[in-house]
């Protein structure tokens, strides 16, 4: 810790000495690169190499790159959300994916690692739809988007499906976008016998060729692939580009920034970028590969709304998840501590009373607890394959942060300024985990999967749990998902708290600068890392109280919600990427 503190202090001092950087005349370039290969079913040889080499090439060509190797669904979704936030700041976006991809009913899907797909209907729940990538690009409103899919390999699940569709389906590119496929619709691509797949190998070669327009570059890639495969693989593109783009300018220009200008036909080329170093880019280059969360946190404190902050938040979440995976679980540590204490017999009435007290009710007198020794547990049951918790473990007070009172101001493009005063409050730093929610449903059985009333959820409640009290060990300390508003509100109420309001989320996350929004705090406030999920429940509805529309707004980090958005959903809704936290 001392070493990191010294490192960050020296780094901050050095950055202050850097010359002021003017805005680069060349367009900003952002890329998300994903390579999935280590599938349990039908592993692939090249995608991780393809993604790694693609990331290197793009960095040399001036792109800010986020690289994912062998990513699961959660990581891919978080990366796409972060990528969308980056695109909203403008510039050229490039999404590259190498790995398994399938089509179901005309919709294309990218397959993450760890997907449990037995039938076609599982795909929409276990994979990433290409449509989401395209929607993110269209939503961002940036200058240009390039989507490259080297995902047209054989469907590894086809033998269990009724349909026998091969490759990917035809998708038309939206305005200002280009979609490049490794092969023609309905056909499959070749992995190749070299380090890179056939398509990506030629792509890497042609991207570095100076002076090629993007259309010329993909044409030369197609010629090279067709020649190498004897016509068995024919790459193709769907393009609705309006401006022009070249990956690398003619020799003599800087390969990191030259040729990155997007311009309407007939307009002049923008001058080269300033040679002054960018303090944010310098600091990010130093901490990007760090394995210490403190380094990433220091970067986010210095640049909370910077160009690299979405990638930094994603990196921080990954490092925190790795630490959780390697650290002893809270449940096991608690059991070991209690096992060392004198054991007292506990009657069923006492156990029930203890459960009530865990939810903030009943007598405040301490209750004795019974904990079985590890040896006794082993004699009575085989080693568990799923995570379990002792029923005696009570709901623990979560780590939370105090947020000072603040005033939110939104300056619309037309109309009057909107402002609202938000009183001081406390909010949890992390979403409620599966472990904590399991303790809750044990204390309140009416919220178990098999007990919850049908009118309090949409049918997918706690879908990722194996049964009422059994959870995959890899999920136990991750945020709980598939929870309706009713269940989330009951959990917070049980511990004497409430679901946060939308404005509390705005203030806690400090969304100043997003959508012409500013926030002024009553006292100093340093925004911590909240590890936000893709969306989280709020206690806010567009309908004025005391009316209740039966819906609530979902908070999405970095978004200023409005009444025309789709952020308000039925309170019975449960989602794969939907979680919650509590406030007071």
Determine, yes or no, domain membership for 233.
Answer: yes
Average pLDDT of the chain? 75
Determine, yes or no, domain membership for 389.
Answer: no
pLDDT exceeds cutoff 90 at 4? no
Backbone angles phi, psi at 259, to 5 degrees: 75, 10
Are 498 and 551 in the same domain? Answer: yes
What's the structural domain count of the chain? Answer: 4
C-alpha pair distances (Å), 104 with each of 107, 115, 187, 577:
5, 15, 15, 22
Are 516 and 565 in the same domain? Answer: yes
Are 6 and 69 in the same domain? Answer: no
CA 39 to CA 157: how far, in whole Å? 12
The CATH number of the domain holding residue 575 is 3.90.1580.10
Q: What is the pLDDT of residue 538?
A: 92
Are 106 and 210 in the same domain? Answer: yes
Tens-digit pLDDT profile for residues 107-150: 888 999 988 887 777 888 888 988 888 888 888 888 899 999 99
Are 219 and 265 in the same domain? Answer: yes
Is 100 within 8 Å of 44 (Cβ atoms)? Answer: yes
Q: Give me 226's structure tokens.
A: 């067709």
Determine, yes or no, domain membership for 393.
Answer: no
Domain that holds residue 287: 1-21+276-327
Q: Give me 40's structure tokens.
A: 């349990």
Are 11 and 30 in the same domain? Answer: no
Tens-digit pLDDT profile for residues 530-545: 888 888 999 988 776 6
The span from the first CA to the last CA of the chain, in angstroms, equals: 32
Determine, yes or no, domain membership for 394.
Answer: no
Are 467 and 432 in the same domain? Answer: yes
Closest Cα to residue 182, out of 155, 165, 202? 202
Are 145 and 205 in the same domain? Answer: yes
Pick the residue with more confidence: 278 or 492? 492
Pick the residue with more confidence: 34 or 101? 34
Question: What's this model's pTM, rounded to 2 decimal places?
Answer: 0.47
Per-position b or e across 496-509, b if 16+ CB within 10 A of its CB: ebebbbbbbbbbbb
Residue with tokens 């599966």: 434
Are 321 and 371 in the same domain? Answer: no
Tens-digit pLDDT profile for residues 424-462: 999 998 999 999 999 999 988 999 999 999 999 999 999
Determine, yes or no, domain membership for 385.
Answer: no
Determine, yes or no, domain membership for 162.
Answer: yes
Are 361 and 309 in the same domain? Answer: no
**436 DSSP β-pair partners:** none
């Amino acid at each position: 810790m001392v070493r990191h503190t010294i490192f960050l202090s020296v780094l901050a001092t050095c950055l202050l000495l850097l010359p002021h950087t003017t805005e680069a005349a060349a367009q900003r370039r952002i890329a998300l690169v994903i390579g999935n290969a280590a599938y349990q079913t039908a592993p692939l040889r090249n995608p991780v190499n393809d993604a790694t080499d693609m990331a290197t090439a793009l960095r040399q060509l001036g792109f800010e790159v986020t690289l994912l190797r062998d990513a699961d669904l959660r990581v891919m979704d978080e990366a796409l959300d972060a990528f969308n936030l980056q695109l909203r700041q403008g510039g050229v976006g490039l999404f590259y994916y190498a790995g398994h991809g399938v089509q179901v009913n005309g919709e294309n899907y990218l397959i993450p690692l760890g997907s449990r797909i037995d039938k076609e209907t599982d795909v929409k729940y276990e994979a990433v739809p290409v449509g989401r990538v395209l929607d993110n690009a269209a939503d961002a409103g940036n200058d240009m988007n390039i989507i490259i899919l080297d995902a047209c390999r054989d469907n590894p699940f086809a033998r269990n499906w009724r349909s026998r569709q091969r490759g990917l389906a035809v998708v038309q590119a939206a305005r200002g976008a280009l979609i490049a496929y490794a092969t023609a619709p309905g056909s499959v691509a070749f992995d190749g016998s070299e380090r890179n797949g056939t398509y990506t190998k030629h792509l890497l070669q042609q991207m570095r060729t100076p002076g090629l327009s993007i259309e010329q570059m993909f044409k030369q890639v197609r010629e090279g692939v067709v020649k190498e495969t004897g016509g068995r693989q024919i790459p193709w593109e769907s393009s609705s580009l309006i401006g022009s783009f070249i990956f690398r300018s003619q020799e003599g220009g800087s390969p990191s920034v030259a040729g990155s200008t997007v311009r309407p036909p007939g307009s002049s080329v923008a001058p080269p970028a300033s040679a002054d170093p960018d303090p944010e880019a310098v600091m990010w280059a130093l901490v990007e590969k760090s394995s210490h969360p403190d380094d990433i946190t220091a970067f986010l404190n210095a640049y909370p709304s910077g160009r690299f902050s979405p990638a930094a938040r994603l990196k921080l979440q990954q490092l925190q998840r790795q630490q959780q995976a390697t650290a002893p679980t809270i449940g096991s540590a608690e059991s070991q501590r209690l096992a060392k204490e004198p054991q007292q017999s506990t009657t069923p009435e006492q156990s029930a009373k203890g459960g009530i007290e865990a939810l903030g009710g009943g007598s405040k007198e301490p209750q004795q607890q019974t904990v079985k020794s590890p040896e006794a547990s082993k004699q009575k049951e085989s080693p568990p394959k799923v995570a379990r918790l002792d029923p005696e473990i009570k709901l623990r007070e979560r780590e939370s942060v105090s947020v000072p009172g603040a005033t939110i101001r939104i300056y619309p493009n037309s109309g009057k300024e909107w402002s609202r005063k938000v009183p001081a409050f406390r909010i949890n730093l992390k979403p409620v985990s599966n472990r904590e929610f399991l303790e809750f449903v044990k204390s309140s059985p009416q919220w178990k999967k098999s007990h919850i009333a049908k009118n309090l959820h949409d049918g997918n409640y706690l879908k990722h749990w194996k049964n009422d009290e059994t959870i995959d060990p890899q999920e136990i300390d991750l945020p709980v998902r598939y929870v309706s508003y009713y269940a989330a509100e009951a959990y917070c109420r049980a511990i004497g708290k409430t679901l946060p309001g939308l404005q509390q989320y705005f203030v806690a996350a400090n969304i100043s600068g997003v959508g012409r929004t500013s926030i002024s705090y009553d006292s100093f406030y340093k925004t911590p890392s909240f590890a936000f999920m893709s969306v989280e429940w709020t206690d806010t509805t567009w309908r004025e109280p005391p009316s209740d529309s039966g819906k609530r707004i979902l908070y999405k980090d970095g978004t200023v919600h409005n009444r025309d958005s789709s952020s308000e959903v039925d309170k019975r809704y449960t989602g794969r990427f939907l979680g919650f936290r509590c406030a007071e």
